[in-house]
Amino acid sequence: MKYIKSRILAFIVLLLGLIAYSQDVFAQNVVRKGHVFVQQSASKDSVKTDYEYQDRDGNKYVIYLSPKGKAYYWAVSKKTGKRYKRYLPKITEMLKEAAVNEKAKGDK
């Protein structure tokens, strides 16, 4: 009886692991281009943009785009001195709108 329970538990753990792995492997990366949705290959690297972000103190930072299309910059903590990503949700929306407008101008 104990042998059967351990087998069932091992099977459930294996099944949950496979499901979690498949979520990452088969996740779709779809981008809208005008009236067409295009599936892109999944990229694990961030993309450096030509834009900069200036904070209240006047420091300028390069804006990056994550593989999921979120804008961020690398900031340094004043307390610990460690680098971390600081996401910019409003900038993300502005970049998306600019890309759509640029694409619309190119289609005309």
Backbone angles phi, psi at 9, to 5 degrees: -65, -40
Q: Select from 34, 48, 43, 54 the least CA-distant residue to 99.
A: 34
By CB neighbour count within 10 A (0-12 exposed, 13-18 middle, 19+ buried), where does 49 fall?
middle
pLDDT for res 45: 77
pLDDT for res 69: 82
pLDDT for res 43: 54
pLDDT beneath 50, residues of the chain: none
pLDDT for res 70: 87
pLDDT for res 80: 93
Note whether 72 and 85 are within 8 A (CB): yes
